[in-house]
Structures are given as C-alpha cells and as structure tokens.
Amino acid sequence: MVSAGLEILGLSLCVIGSLLVMVSCGLPMWKVTAFIEANIVVAQTIWDGLWMSCVVQSTGQMQCKVHDSVLALSHDLQAARALTIISSVMGVLGLMVVIAGAQCTNCIRAEYVKARVVNAGGVIYIVSGLFVLVPLCWMANNIISDFYNPQVPASKKREIGAALYIGWAASAQLLIGGSLLCCSCPSSGNSGYSVKYSPTKRATPNGDYDKRNYV
C-alpha cells in the first residue's frame, strides 16, 4: 500500500514537472529588460526566449519575431533548445514506462519486474530534470554576469524571466518525483503463510480407521 502511494505521488509530481518544462520551453520570457539607470521609464519591454523575441509596448500591444537562424543564436540558447526538448521527450517516455510497470496496470504480471520498471521510469525522470536544470543555470549565470559587467550597455542588460523560475520548479518536481519512484521496492514474494494439507484419511472395510492414520 505504501509503495502504491509513493508511485502515485511520484508520478503526479513528474507529470506536473514535465508539463511545466514544456510551458517553460515555449514561453518567451527567459530574458527580460532590466529597468536600471536611464531605463527606469521606457515605452517598451523586450522579452527574449528560446524561439522568439517579443516587444511589449506600454499600451499593451505585443509584437513577436521568431528567431530566423539557429546557428546565429548564442551557445546558451542553442543548448537550452536542445536540452529542453530532450527533457520533454524523456518526460513522455518516462510516463509510458511508469504506467507500464505501475501496480494498477496489468501490462506486466511479475511484481518484481513491475517494480524494476517503475524504478527505471524514476531514473528517466531524474535524468530529465537534470537535462532541463543545466540550461537554466547556464542561462541564469550569463544573465547575472552580463548584468554586473560594466562593459555591457545598460540598454542591453537583461534580468531573469519568469520562464526560468518555472523551469526551476519543474526541475525540482522531476527530481523529487523521480526519487520517489526509485524508492518503490519490489514485492517480497507472496504474503501470508503456506499451508500444507495432508491427504484425506480413508476408513477400513469394517468401518474403523486404520491405526497408521494416527502415527
């Protein structure tokens, strides 16, 4: 019962984490305009994402432009694209593996094998969380370095966007959920006591029981 509860809790966290990874991957708010010095009052805000850059006017209008060339992007953006997509695919793969080995399904009969399959799904989710954590930390490090770099103009300095925080939350859920799935232990055989029944005692032709039945 405890093992089933861990499976449900771990799978729920992993599914939510995978969905948040996809949301973070699609959002354009990885880098946002830093309002400092002369940029305190501006007419527009710039959002930079993995797939597009958006300009939000003070009137509420927003214009987005998809990145034309992949090779023209910075190395952190290229790595973030690849790793977040891989993490999303691994999230779907991990879901299929865990469902195949879950205690509430009959895809696999052997309890020991079912537990091992669930453990493998947990490892997939942990790797998925690490894959999305790497570009998030890399991007955040570059943003902070450029922010405190005096050689970077104030108009080009950026701050950490909401997509990074969503990605960090997704990574934490994937790591925690994957760890819970790895804690699912295999069943230690059949529970209960084994009972051995003796053969039925037969009576002799004269109606009495054979004395050997009492030995």
| The predicted structure's pLDDT at residue 4 | 77
For residue 206, the model assigns a pLDDT of 56
Strand (E) or helix (H) holding 87: helix 75-101
Give the separation between CA 145 and CA 136, rounded to whole angstroms: 14
Q: Is the pLDDT of residue 215 over 80?
A: no
139 vs 29: CA distance, rounded Å: 12
Distance CA 145, CA 23 (A): 26
pLDDT at 173 over 70: yes
Is pLDDT above 60 for 75? yes
What is the C-alpha to C-alpha distance for residues 3 and 157, in angstroms, rounded to an integer?
A: 49
pLDDT in tens, 152-172: 887 778 889 899 999 999 999
107: confidence class by pLDDT, cuts 50, 70, 90: confident
pTM: 0.78
Between CA 180 and CA 28 the distance in angstroms is 32
**Residue 66 clears pLDDT 50, i.e. is over it:** yes
Please give the backbone phi and psi of residue 80, each rounded to the nearest 5 degrees, phi first. -65, -40
For the chain, percent of residues with pLDDT exceeding 70: 80
Per-residue pLDDT tens over the stretch 121-153: 999 999 999 999 999 999 999 999 988 888 888
Phi, psi of 209 (to 5 degrees): -85, 145
CA–CA–CA angle 91, 92, 94 (5° rounding): 65
- Strands 31-33 and 158-160 turn out to be antiparallel
Closest CA to 140 of 76, 79, 81: 76
Higher-confidence position of 37 and 81:
81
In tens, the pLDDT along 12-53 reads: 999 999 999 999 998 888 988 877 655 455 567 888 888 988
